[in-house]
Structure 1
Amino acid sequence: AVSAADPLRFDLEPAAVLGCARTLIPTLVGALPTAGRRHRGAERLAWQLWHRLTPRLPDEASINVLDTALALLIDHDLAASTLAARVAASARAHPYAVVSAGLGALDGPLHGAASGLAHQMLAEVLERGGAAPVVAAHLRSGRRVPGLGHRLYPGEDPRARALFTLLAELPQAEEALAAAQDVIATTARHTELHANVDLALAVLSVACGMPAEAGETVFAVARTAGWIAHALEEYGEHPLRMRPSAHYTGPRPPQPLP
Structure 2
Amino acid sequence: MDEWIDAGTAAERLGVKPATLYAYVSRGVLRRRRGDDGRRSLFSLAEVEELARRGRPRNQPPELVIESRVTTLGVDRPYYRGIDALELARTAAFESVAEWLWTGEPARGPSLGWAGDPEGVRAAIAAQRALPDGLLPIDRLQVSTTVLGATDSLRYQLDPASVAATGRRLIAGLIDSLPFAADPPIAQGEGQGGVAGRLWARLCPAPPTPAQLAALQAALVLLADHELAASTLAARVAASAKADPYAVVLTGLGVLGGPLHGGASYDAERLLAEVTDPGRAARVIADRVRRGERIPGYGHSVYKNGDARGAFLMDLVEAAAPGHERLEAIRAVTTEVRRRRLPEPNIDFALAGLTAVSGTIPGSGEAIFAVARIAGWLAHAMEEYAKGTLLRLRATPR
Give me the TM-score of the superposition, normalised by structure 2. 0.60
- Pick aligned residue for 2:189 from 19, 23, 40: 40
Structure 2 residue identity aligned to 1:203: G
State whether residues 149 and 246 of structure 2, in contact with CA within 8 Å, keep that contact through their aligned partners in structure 1. yes
1:207 Cα deviation from its structure 2 partner: 0.6
- Pick aligned residue for 1:233 from 383, 389, 394: 383
- Alpha-carbon distance in structure 1 between the residues aligned to 2:297 and 2:281: 13
- Alpha-carbon distance in structure 2 between the residues aligned to 1:10 and 1:244: 25
Structure 1 residue identity aligned to 2:219: A
What are the ranges of 5 or more consecutive residues in structure 2 without an aligned counterpart? Answer: 1-146
Q: Which has the higher contact order (CA 8 A, sep 6+)?
A: 1
C-alpha offsets along residues 102-132 of structure 1, whole Å, 9 cap, x if unaligned?
0010121211111111111112213463310
State whether residues 224 and 376 of structure 2, in contact with CA within 8 Å, keep that contact through their aligned partners in structure 1. yes
- Alpha-carbon distance in structure 1 between the residues aligned to 2:324 and 2:344: 19
Structure 2 residue identity aligned to 1:30: D
Structure 2 residue identity aligned to 1:3: G
1:86 Cα deviation from its structure 2 partner: 0.3
SS at match of 1:147: coil
- Pick aligned residue for 2:222 from 41, 65, 72: 72
Report what 1:165 is aligned to.
Answer: 315
- Alpha-carbon distance in structure 2 between the residues aligned to 1:247 and 1:189: 42
Report what 1:91 is aligned to.
Answer: 241
State whether residues 173 and 203 of structure 1, in contact with CA within 8 Å, keep that contact through their aligned partners in structure 2. no
SS at match of 1:74: coil
- Alpha-carbon distance in structure 1 between the residues aligned to 2:178 and 2:281: 33
State whether residues 173 and 208 of structure 1, in contact with CA within 8 Å, keep that contact through their aligned partners in structure 2. no
- Alpha-carbon distance in structure 2 between the residues aligned to 1:154 and 1:244: 28
**Between structures 1 and 2, the one with greater strand share:** 2
Report what 1:255 is aligned to.
Answer: none
Query: Is residue 9 of structure 1 aligned with residue 159 of structure 2?
Result: no
SS at match of 2:280: coil
State whether residues 224 and 374 of structure 2, in contact with CA within 8 Å, keep that contact through their aligned partners in structure 1. yes
Range that drifts further, 213-222 or 124-133: 124-133
Report what 1:22 is aligned to.
Answer: 168
Report what 1:194 is aligned to.
Answer: 344
Report what 1:115 is aligned to.
Answer: 265
1:169 Cα deviation from its structure 2 partner: 1.1
SS at match of 1:87: helix
C-alpha offsets along residues 5-25 of structure 1, whole Å, 9 cap, x if unaligned?
122211111111111001000
State whether residues 117 and 212 of structure 1, in contact with CA within 8 Å, keep that contact through their aligned partners in structure 2. no
CA-based RMSD of the aligned residues comes to 1.5
Structure 1 residue identity aligned to 2:260: L
- Alpha-carbon distance in structure 1 between the residues aligned to 2:282 and 2:396: 48
- Alpha-carbon distance in structure 1 between the residues aligned to 2:281 and 2:392: 46
State whether residues 131 and 186 of structure 1, in contact with CA within 8 Å, keep that contact through their aligned partners in structure 2. yes
Paired residue total:
248
Decide whether aligned partners of structure 1 residues 61 and 127 sit closer, same or farther in structure 2, where only a CA change above 3 A counts: same
Decide whether aligned partners of structure 1 residues 224 and 68 sit closer, same or farther in structure 2, where only a CA change above 3 A counts: same
Report what 2:282 is aligned to.
Answer: 132
What are the ranges of 5 or more consecutive residues in structure 1 without an aligned counterpart? Answer: 250-258
- Alpha-carbon distance in structure 2 between the residues aligned to 1:20 and 1:173: 42
Structure 2 residue identity aligned to 1:18: A
- Alpha-carbon distance in structure 2 between the residues aligned to 1:163 and 1:248: 44
- Alpha-carbon distance in structure 1 between the residues aligned to 2:187 and 2:317: 23
1:199 Cα deviation from its structure 2 partner: 0.6
C-alpha offsets along residues 110-169 of structure 1, whole Å, 9 cap, x if unaligned?
111111111111122134633100100100111011111001112221111111111121
Report what 1:254 is aligned to.
Answer: none
SS at match of 2:148: coil
Decide whether aligned partners of structure 1 residues 28 and 172 sit closer, same or farther in structure 2, where only a CA change above 3 A counts: farther
Query: Is residue 50 of structure 1 aligned with residue 196 of structure 2?
Result: no
Share of identical aligned residues, percent?
Answer: 46
Query: Is residue 101 of structure 1 aligned with residue 251 of structure 2?
Result: yes
- Alpha-carbon distance in structure 2 between the residues aligned to 1:83 and 1:165: 30
Report what 1:31 is aligned to.
Answer: 177
